[in-house]
Amino acid sequence: MIKRVLIANRGEIALRIIRSCKELGVESVAIYAEADKDSLHVKLADKAMCIGKGSIAETYLNKKEIITAAKVAKADAIHPGYGFLSENCEFAEMVPANGIIFIGPTSDTISRMGDKIAAVKTALNANVPVIPGSHGPVDSDELVVEIARQIGFPLIIKAAAGGGGKGMRIVREVAQLTDNLHTARSEARNFFGNDSVYIERYIEVGRHVEVQVLADSYENAVALGERDCSIQRRHQKLVEESPAPFLPPEVRREMFDASVRLAKETGYTGVGTVEFILDEQNRFYFIEMNTRIQVEHPVTELCTDVDLVKYQILTAAGEKLPFTQQQIFHEGHSIECRINAENPEMGFIPSPGKITHLVLPGGPGVRVDSHIYAGYTIPHQYDSLIAKIIVHAEDRPSAIARMKRALGEFHVEGIDTTIPLHLKIMSNEVFQKGKFNTCFIENEKILG
């Protein structure tokens, strides 16, 4: 069994991991950059180690330094959280090479899913529906025109090394194809150091629905429900919920089966998320797989009563899943609002600084995952997520009412937040009807 875990992260997710460690009786070791010395994860962990006052690259991304810290602390495992080194296949290889357990899938799985072309090929092998496309790199201008004519327009050019919406270009007619291809390729080379690109039919009006999977190292894998993450702005998710509104039960079942097949195909261990695009006819298509714990994991936890971080740790320690797919239930409705220290009226400009006054929401069915406290100064160096409010209620209308109540109780002074934006979303008629897609924020003029 794992006795001590080093947490290679900060903010709310570091706290979230510490909490599961405590409940498991596992010791937690926090690492922190000097800028985070007053952070809650430093105070709540059993032990905290400063890894310098440098940049992110020199601290939370410093593979060697983090592994050295784990050795000094005698940690037997490292939890990477999300972001930072969580999907870095080099790190996932270095950690076990140093005799430490990496809490996550193997380096090979991370690398296979990190290459979006390899991921699509893996999905095809597992008989998981994929979008009509090149299903491989497009190298020559002649070839791309031929493939494009077969799949039809509009289409989308994606970088093999991209993901999460980075390095995508939409093309509406054949005349724009080669120019866009060249631009996409040079952008991919600049951003990712890899100019490999592929094309897919672009699904213009769709929903972003993802399936949470959990697997042990004995070929057992289960699906723990889906999350609708269609409410986004520039590929930053704002609101997530489970179950996905109006998802037919047979489609949901097929998505779960497909996701479990993919997990088994890759010999997956731990938690993962299979992302799909759902078209207007509720046909689903694989787009990519995330090999980390995700920001929005709590909506699944509240509906299934499964502690995902706990099972990440237990499966990494070599334990078997104690439940089968048939034993998993999904109850009620859950919604998460991501609260950022940003001003939505000023193009979401970050708003770091000191929190002078704070009242967090609470009461029945309200969970707050946050690292902030009154008197805390939000550093400017990092992501602007300051809190996640997650509600659970018997049905969707009650969950929305509960979220409105929780947002109304949330008082933060000293910084700007996205709380007013979330109140607008919760009060929007299209949102309330559950009839939204990925164009919601634009179409509904939520931003005025």
Binding site for ligand MV4 (CB under 6 A): 131, 156, 164-165, 200-203, 206, 208, 232, 235, 275, 277, 287-288, 438
CB of 275 vs ligand MV4, minimal distance in Å? 5
CB of 264 vs ligand MV4, minimal distance in Å? 22
Q: Do residues 297 and 308 make contact, with C-beta atoms less than 8 angstroms apart?
A: yes
CB of 199 vs ligand MV4, minimal distance in Å? 9
- Using the minimum distance from each CB to ligand MV4, give the nearer residue, 101 or 203: 203
Structure tokens at 103: 């809490």
Residue of 156, 160, 148, 159 whose CA lies nearest to 118: 160
Residues whose CB falls within 8 Å of the CB of residue 281, separated by 6 or more in sequence, listed in order: none
* Strand bridging mode 197-201 / 155-163: antiparallel
Strand partners, 271: 214
Query: Which H helix or E strand runs over 278?
Result: strand 270-278
Q: Do residues 174 and 153 make contact, with C-beta atoms less than 8 angstroms apart?
A: yes
Residue of 384, 386, 400, 392 whose CA lies nearest to 367: 392
* Strand bridging mode 366-370 / 385-393: antiparallel
CB of 282 vs ligand MV4, minimal distance in Å? 15
CB of 155 vs ligand MV4, minimal distance in Å? 8
Fill in the DSSP letter of residue 156.
E
User: Active site includes 338?
Assistant: no
CA end-to-end span of the chain, whole Å?
53
- Using the minimum distance from each CB to ligand MV4, give the nearer residue, 234 or 249: 234
Q: Do residues 356 and 413 make contact, with C-beta atoms less than 8 angstroms apart?
A: yes
Rounded alpha-carbon distances, angstroms, from residue 168 to 136, 159, 198: 16, 7, 10
- Using the minimum distance from each CB to ligand MV4, give the nearer residue, 116 or 392: 116
Give the integer Cα–Cα distance in Å for 361 and 35: 27
Give the integer Cα–Cα distance in Å for 60 and 65: 9
- Using the minimum distance from each CB to ligand MV4, give the nearer residue, 27 or 336: 336
- Using the minimum distance from each CB to ligand MV4, give the nearer residue, 285 or 311: 285
**Residue 175 exposed, middle or buried by CB count within 10 Å (0-12, 13-18, 19+):** exposed
Give the integer Cα–Cα distance in Å for 131 and 295: 26
Number of C-beta neighbours around residue 356 at 10 A? 11
- Using the minimum distance from each CB to ligand MV4, give the nearer residue, 208 or 422: 208
What backbone torsions phi and psi does residue 215 show, to the nearest 5 degrees? Answer: -135, 150
CB of 8 vs ligand MV4, minimal distance in Å? 24
Catalytic member of 112, 252, 292, 338 = 292
CB of 150 vs ligand MV4, minimal distance in Å? 15
- Using the minimum distance from each CB to ligand MV4, give the nearer residue, 75 or 211: 211
Residues with active-site annotation: 292
